[in-house]
Structure 1
Amino acid sequence: MTDPSPTLLLRRVRATAADAAGVTLDLDALPGVQLGVMPGWLTGEPLAAQGVETEMPNLPTIDLPPADVTPWVLRVTAPQPDCLRLVLAPAGHPDLVDDGTGRGIVVDPAPAPVALGAEEAEAHVAVTAGHLSLEVGRAPFTLLLRDTRTGAVVLRTSDRLRQVAGLLTAPSALTDGEGTTLNLELGPDEDILGFGEQFGRLVKNGQLLRLRSEDACGTGTGLAYKPVPVWHSSRGYTGFVNTGAVVTADVGHSRPSVLSLGVAGDAVDLYVMTGPDPAARLSAYTALTGRPDVPAPWAFGYWMGRCRYHSSAEMLEVARTMREHEVPADVLHLDPDWLVVDRLNTDFIWNTERFGDRKQFVTDLADEGFRLSVWELPYLDPASPVFEHAEREGYLVRRTDGSLAGIQKTPTPDGRMRALLDFTNPDARRWWQEQHRAFLDDGVAVFKTDFGEALPDDVALFDGTPANEAHNLYPLRYNGAVSDAIREFTGRTPLVWGRSGWAGSHRYPGQWGGDAESTVAGMQATVRGGLSYAMSAPGFWSHDIGGFFGPELTPALYVRWTQLGALSPLMRAHGLRPREPWAFGADALGICRDWVRLRYSLLPYLWQVAVESATNGWPVMRPLGFHFPLDRVARTVDDSFLLGSDLLVVPVFDDADAPVERTFYVPEGEWFDLQDDTCFVGPGFHTVTVPLDRVPVLVRAGAVLPRVDVDPSVRSTDDLLDRPWRLHAYGSAAAERRSFVGFDAQPCTVDGEVVRHG
């Protein structure tokens, strides 16, 4: 037997107490050891109590570890119906008395609290709240959650899983010097989705994910810009670990029937939302963590950017050329060249040599019908004139040894360190926000809040945030500071364009999928990342049309990516090299213009989806399983998606000009092609031949889409705000729907003829 380790296994319930707010169970944690080469765990309890098969012929000699008890606590509360909060921590841990809002992820600790009861039985303690019953095993300590309406087990720990000698392979909960782990048993047909913006397969079974916000350097590196410790189980629950610490999610990777959640801290603060479908459970999750406001209508237009535009003259020429080619567009984005010191630095010193007077530049763009988006990041270069002031005032992050912290894992072009703003210091946060005021006064519409993933792990933040939680909370605080500044200084709905994120980041729209490679693989990974993020951070997400970097982008792939972008929640083209549609030839320009106009014609529908999503805490871009959770095929599909509930978008992943065969899955019901009314019946797979100027976009039977006519005179969404809407009804059962939400966010009635399809 190996020497005893500092690992503790939670093994027994010692006492139970209930109060007005919840139920507290005192637990015994015992030292645990493993038997050398034989997998499995042992404690100092009698072998029979541990289920050891003592008759095994090759059972090695067993020396039990000491049975010293370390007190732990399980605190159970019910912040809203069909939701339990389980805090598992050492006795006296601050999480046991925190209402959940301490990290800034949860913003409403108890949207609709439910009273709990505790009933003691010989083998377990039953904690009940509404329709939920949590059975806490006494010895051994286990968790089993039931929905009392059906009797179904929704979630259980994995204590009954053993190896051949009867040793535990996945104890319910254990803690060691690395952190605390909760092990859950995966059902035979249970699928796990979520964990933020992951670029692999949508169903996470078999994957090992380390949830740490990283400068991922692309979508194919295995890293994630916006990991989120939120996941969905097809058994009917959604889990959320309320932490800033790194979470390791082993989804049947190491042990095929175990979802292992390792938190790099000494406690697990777990919320479990149950419900019939992901939609209901995301509504519950966002009731706790907040919901985004609906961006202004112009945000749903076409955005154009490039890394880099080098002058105001260059950008104005792009704006005029867009108008000459009669391509509708609303936003031009300006990357770092607006700065004087512009290599991984933002000090808000406008480069007048390149871009002249800022207010005049914004006005000149407005004359062409464009709004301005401006890049930033939360790092300061020592070469900046404001660096000394920021350091002297204590605005910059320090390490635990008192030295100035520099960014990690993001290389600098000159070898100098880059300091980071400490957003937990109220004075520093306010100083950073104030730097935006003049830009907003001059008419800047949106800030691209780039980077934010480079905070070191050994930091001492102003507010005392534990070092192990500071890194992942940094993007949330950064984007929140900028979003709040826009709201305060302009009085309008704020909008940022963020790359990094964590749980709660969905409150600050929008986000984009980072630096995708300009390849078919990059496009495919982008869609998967957006669908995965939708299940954990519902709201307004998008991507760089054409990808950000890589091999020379073929005109055909640019067209295919533009088609995807035209049916995405937000639409922005951006990359290291030109992304303007005329840069890819006359044919690509013509096709892309048609798809941009199609998007603009769908603006009224996009607006309905946006309002619905923000109201309910849902994503705009939705996996098929979001609305068809009982369809085992639909919930695995990650090469197509729903835009709202009525449009099924089937991107074509190809970089050639020739027509392509595309096989795709259609859920239950009739679905009509948006462009030619071809009917597809589901559930089932269909194969079509798709020329370059088409992708399958299907409308659900029964849907009524509000649309607006778009002609060559339309320059931007502003030209559509007062145009009449035309209703398109699909299928024989289409409702006579007339009531919608107008662009002023007020109910409106659409009169006139209804165009019927199918």
Structure 2
Amino acid sequence: MTDRFLLREVTEAVVGEGGDLVARLRTVLCRRGADAVGYLTGESPAEQGIETTMPNLPELDTPPLRSTEVTLRVQWAAADVVRILVQSADAAEQDATRYGIVVDPRPEPVHAKAEQTDEAITLSTEAVRVTIERHPFALLVEDVRTGRVLMRSAGRLRQVAGLPIAPAMMVGETTTLNLELGADEQVLGFGEQFGRLVKNGQRLTLRVEDALGTGAGMAYKPAPVWHSTAGYLALVNTGATVVADVEHSRAGVLGIESHCGELDMFVIAGPAPRQALTGYTRLTGRGPVPPPWAFGYWLGRCRYHSSEQMTEVGRRMRELDVPVDILHLDPDWLIVDRLNCDFLWNTDRFGDRKEFVAGLQELGIRLSVWELPYLDPASPRYPEAAEAGHLVHDAEGGTARIANTPVPDDRPRALVDFTNPAARAWWQQMHRPFLDDGVAVFKTDFGEGLPDQVRLADGTPAEHAHNLYPLRYNAAVSDAIAEHTGRAPLVWGRSGWAGSHRYPAQWGGDAESTVSGMRATLRGGLSHGLSMPGLWGHDIGGFFGPELTPGLYVRWTQFGALSPLMRAHGLRPREPWAFGEEALEVVRNWIRLRYSLLPYLWQVAHESARHGWPLMRALAFEFPEDELAVPRDDAFLLGSDIMVVPVFSDDTGEVERRFYVPDGGWTDLLTGKRYTGPGMHAETVGLDRIPVLVRDGVVLPRVDVDAGLRNTDDLLAAPWTFHAYGGASGTHRFVGFDGTPFEVEAGDASVRHHRA
């Protein structure tokens, strides 16, 4: 059994000029009692708080009395952001940027006040107060502005014999922080999680995995980032696996266990998620606004097998007047194409790449190309990469092989080491000919397969390497696009970790083609937005599973048409004509609806990039004080002003949909029907519509879309129409497609504005 030590008392404390604290703490060896609930130390019963008067007190098998020391640092990143770092006593102070998650650890100067008494040390700014109780050690974080307790360590919680059930903090091979939750406190976030949005009652292992779908209990893009309705967001700044136990094992306790020998945590005080995410992204960076074409319709299939097949799909889309901006090409473009990417173009299947891309461009279609960061030994480039030292090494110095992803044969796949500058540059330069030929975007698939025991070139500790790998992989490709093209980069990534939101976009992985898969996909997107804010999409229709029904295809398309990015993709056909005439007509209308909302999507993208907010927003983001809105994960907001109510059904007939409408007045975008919240409503909707509600007071910019529309390029010079809803008044500000800001007065609802 690995020894664990609980933090017992502050033995020394020094406060610096800016209000930062460095303290020495004594720890004491602890073990679980015989009941496996409470913790015992070798201290006296009185020191431990044991109820010695209990008539049935069992024999206490106390461990030996052993102590160690740790260092506690409290540092101010901003007036409303505090860093709490616990390390072994002999560890040097760690740079907060060392893992590439935090990019600006002190975005503003801070001067905190300090007060020390025999009982406690208090540090405070105008926004946040941190109290460290000396003996027994305890942690308290409060919002000075609201008077609310944000975070309280849970050491005072006991079982009947007086043994602590959740010591404030324990250190060892893993480091655990236990927080006492308020009576009504709810916890959300932790990256792209496919279960319920509110995480109370769940135990989550935050480790990047090839999740094998959305129902296997794993996550492609977890993140040690959570929101609390107490009014804060927290980030554990680590690449190590983190286990978040949210009232699963112990009622009223949030346990955060980091599988490394330290805890490096940033706490951002924000009365609402929007303020907290703004603070969080000041630390971790924000993604750029992609080009307008990114917000068009994307279509793909696993797999298109030839240039002729893809060109024919493009022609058919044009013949049927279905707008589309991007066709996606999965691995058949490679010669060696099973869990391998070496950038060797398969001319037998796709001919000359430049000519193929040009042919699509004549149809007004851009090309997206698949990749992953693994190399098959059968690739001609494998010896080159191995000899140059571009591949990840295992603990013995050999070539590491991917783990936890099924392989189609017995050949071990190697991984590119993106911490090696030469390997990173080698990988990046192989993208350049593709970009020169007109490839618009790369789908950065996989990235979850780094094994645990590896030696990375930059010395990243093995326990941090696995989860950081997709962050570094997507960064390398995103940076390659930006540096070579000079435009805002765009990838389409499956795996991720905290900080991955800087490299848009991500998609929800391999959902099953079922109503359950669609439901889980939405939950994943909402959770992703609260902790990895930015651009996110999903495979319309799901990626695998039972044969997709026309009803579910239409319902998923309606959901996708109002998601941040819209892409249909799967193992089998996702083209609109594959599901019958009725489905084709309905889907075409919803794709056109999306294109008509391009000016609105453009505004939301700029707002999100400016403030660090997601485009797809849980009701909890916009209505954090509404206790009924916070747990809702069956609807979402696109930006602040459009609420989308997906219909989870594979029926082609009418479906009754019950949904919650938050406070205020709302108007259905399609029918004009009025709704008033807060309250539940019900609508019976046919296959052609879902409830899409516009908030009162909004001026919604749109463009007219006719049957001849091909893509977003056709709309860049089109006039905008501004629609005023629910008593909209005053001046409203917008950004044109050319980046120029302008204003519109709400009183003139018929105003049309042209942006070249």
TM class by shorter chain equals over 0.9
CA distance in 2, matches of 1:445, 1:697: 31
Give the 3-state SS of the residue equivalent to 2:454 in structure 1: coil
CA distance in 2, matches of 1:719, 1:392: 49
1:690-729 residue pairs with structure 2 within 5 A? 690-729=685-724
CA distance in 1, matches of 2:513, 2:59: 58
CA distance in 1, matches of 2:150, 2:206: 24
1:68 is displaced (CA, Å) by: 2.8
Q: Which residue of 2 aligns with 1:476?
A: 471
1:63 is displaced (CA, Å) by: 5.2
Q: Which residue of 1 aligns with 2:148?
A: 152
Letter in 2 for 1:49: E
Query: Of residues 550, 554, 558 in structure 1, which corresponds to 2:549?
Result: 554
Q: Which residue of 2 aligns with 1:13?
A: 10
- Give CA-to-partner distance per residue, 1:533-566, whole Å, 9 cap, x none: 0000000000000000000000010000000000
CA change 1:537–1:608 in 2 (3 A) is same
Q: Which residue of 1 aligns with 2:527?
A: 532
CA change 1:34–1:750 in 2 (3 A) is closer
CA distance in 2, matches of 1:345, 1:207: 36
Q: Which residue of 1 aligns with 2:250?
A: 255
Q: Is the 8 Å Cα contact of residues 187 and 229 (structure 2) preserved in structure 1?
A: yes
CA distance in 2, matches of 1:113, 1:24: 18
Letter in 1 for 2:347: T
1:121 is displaced (CA, Å) by: 1.7
1:127 is displaced (CA, Å) by: 1.7
Q: Is the 8 Å Cα contact of residues 558 and 690 (structure 2) preserved in structure 1?
A: yes
1:696 is displaced (CA, Å) by: 0.2
Q: Is the 8 Å Cα contact of residues 126 and 145 (structure 2) preserved in structure 1?
A: no
Give the 3-state SS of the residue equivalent to 2:429 in structure 1: helix
Letter in 2 for 1:103: Y
CA distance in 2, matches of 1:426, 1:652: 48
Give the 3-state SS of the residue equivalent to 1:535 in structure 2: helix
Q: Which residue of 2 aligns with 1:66?
A: 64
Letter in 2 for 1:60: P
1:130 is displaced (CA, Å) by: 2.8
Q: Which residue of 1 aligns with 2:27?
A: 29
Further displaced range: 69-78 or 35-44: 35-44
Q: Which residue of 2 aligns with 1:662?
A: 657
CA distance in 1, matches of 2:556, 2:2: 53
Q: Which residue of 1 aligns with 2:589?
A: 594
CA distance in 1, matches of 2:117, 2:620: 39
CA distance in 2, matches of 1:32, 1:417: 43
Q: Which residue of 2 aligns with 1:113?
A: 109
Q: Which residue of 2 aligns with 1:361?
A: 356
Verify: 1:83 aligned to 2:77, yes or no.
Answer: no
CA change 1:77–1:722 in 2 (3 A) is same
Q: Which residue of 1 aligns with 2:754?
A: none
Give the 3-state SS of the residue equivalent to 1:754 in structure 2: coil
Letter in 2 for 1:473: L
Q: Which residue of 2 aligns with 1:341?
A: 336
Query: Of residues 557, 560, 564 in structure 2, which corresponds to 1:565?
Result: 560
Letter in 1 for 2:133: G
CA distance in 2, matches of 1:568, 1:674: 16
Q: Which residue of 2 aligns with 1:742?
A: 736
Give the 3-state SS of the residue equivalent to 2:275 in structure 1: helix
Q: Which residue of 1 aligns with 2:324?
A: 329
Q: Is the 8 Å Cα contact of residues 242 and 269 (structure 1) preserved in structure 2?
A: yes
CA distance in 1, matches of 2:67, 2:213: 47
1:19 is displaced (CA, Å) by: 1.7
TM (norm. structure 2) is: 0.98
CA distance in 1, matches of 2:729, 2:212: 47
1:117 is displaced (CA, Å) by: 3.0
1:749 is displaced (CA, Å) by: 4.2
Letter in 2 for 1:29: T
Q: Is the 8 Å Cα contact of residues 725 and 750 (structure 1) preserved in structure 2?
A: no
CA distance in 1, matches of 2:525, 2:594: 19
Q: Is the 8 Å Cα contact of residues 23 and 117 (structure 1) preserved in structure 2?
A: no
CA distance in 1, matches of 2:116, 2:731: 53
- Give CA-to-partner distance per residue, 1:29-60, whole Å, 9 cap, x none: 11112221252112233322221110001112
Query: Of residues 21, 38, 46 in structure 2, which corresponds to 1:40?
Result: 38
Equivalenced residues, count: 749
Q: Is the 8 Å Cα contact of residues 11 and 27 (structure 1) preserved in structure 2?
A: yes
Q: Which residue of 2 aligns with 1:459?
A: 454
1:159 is displaced (CA, Å) by: 0.8
Letter in 2 for 1:88: V
CA change 1:126–1:749 in 2 (3 A) is closer
Q: Which residue of 2 aligns with 1:506?
A: 501
1:244 is displaced (CA, Å) by: 0.2
1:113 is displaced (CA, Å) by: 3.1
Q: Which residue of 2 aligns with 1:625?
A: 620
Q: Is the 8 Å Cα contact of residues 5 and 32 (structure 1) preserved in structure 2?
A: no
CA distance in 1, matches of 2:359, 2:119: 75
Query: Of residues 233, 237, 240 in structure 2, which corresponds to 1:245?
Result: 240
Give the 3-state SS of the residue equivalent to 1:32 in structure 2: strand
CA distance in 1, matches of 2:714, 2:148: 54
CA change 1:62–1:414 in 2 (3 A) is closer
Q: Which residue of 2 aligns with 1:213?
A: 208
Letter in 1 for 2:29: P
1:259 is displaced (CA, Å) by: 0.3
CA distance in 1, matches of 2:352, 2:16: 63
TM (norm. structure 1) is: 0.97
Q: Which residue of 1 aligns with 2:180?
A: 185
1:148 is displaced (CA, Å) by: 2.2
CA distance in 2, matches of 1:70, 1:397: 36
CA distance in 2, matches of 1:43, 1:440: 62
1:195 is displaced (CA, Å) by: 0.2
Give the 3-state SS of the residue equivalent to 1:86 in structure 2: strand
CA change 1:739–1:37 in 2 (3 A) is closer
Verify: 1:174 aligned to 2:182, yes or no.
Answer: no
1:95-494 residue pairs with structure 2 within 5 A? 97-177=93-173, 179-494=174-489
Q: Is the 8 Å Cα contact of residues 77 and 116 (structure 1) preserved in structure 2?
A: no
Give the 3-state SS of the residue equivalent to 1:305 in structure 2: strand
1:18 is displaced (CA, Å) by: 1.4
1:5 is displaced (CA, Å) by: 6.2
CA distance in 2, matches of 1:621, 1:738: 22
Q: Is the 8 Å Cα contact of residues 5 and 33 (structure 1) preserved in structure 2?
A: no
Q: Which residue of 2 aligns with 1:49?
A: 47
- Give CA-to-partner distance per residue, 1:213-272, whole Å, 9 cap, x none: 000010000000000100000000111000000000000000011100000000000000
CA distance in 2, matches of 1:45, 1:139: 14
1:736 is displaced (CA, Å) by: 4.1
Give the 3-state SS of the residue equivalent to 2:455 in structure 1: coil
CA change 1:50–1:383 in 2 (3 A) is same
Give the 3-state SS of the residue equivalent to 2:87 in structure 1: strand
1:573 is displaced (CA, Å) by: 0.3
1:73 is displaced (CA, Å) by: 1.1
Letter in 2 for 1:230: V
Root-mean-square deviation over aligned CA pairs? 1.3
- Give CA-to-partner distance per residue, 1:608-648, whole Å, 9 cap, x none: 00000010000000000101100011010000000000000
CA distance in 1, matches of 2:615, 2:717: 24
CA distance in 1, matches of 2:540, 2:275: 31
1:753 is displaced (CA, Å) by: 5.1
CA distance in 1, matches of 2:36, 2:473: 47
Further displaced range: 329-338 or 141-150: 141-150
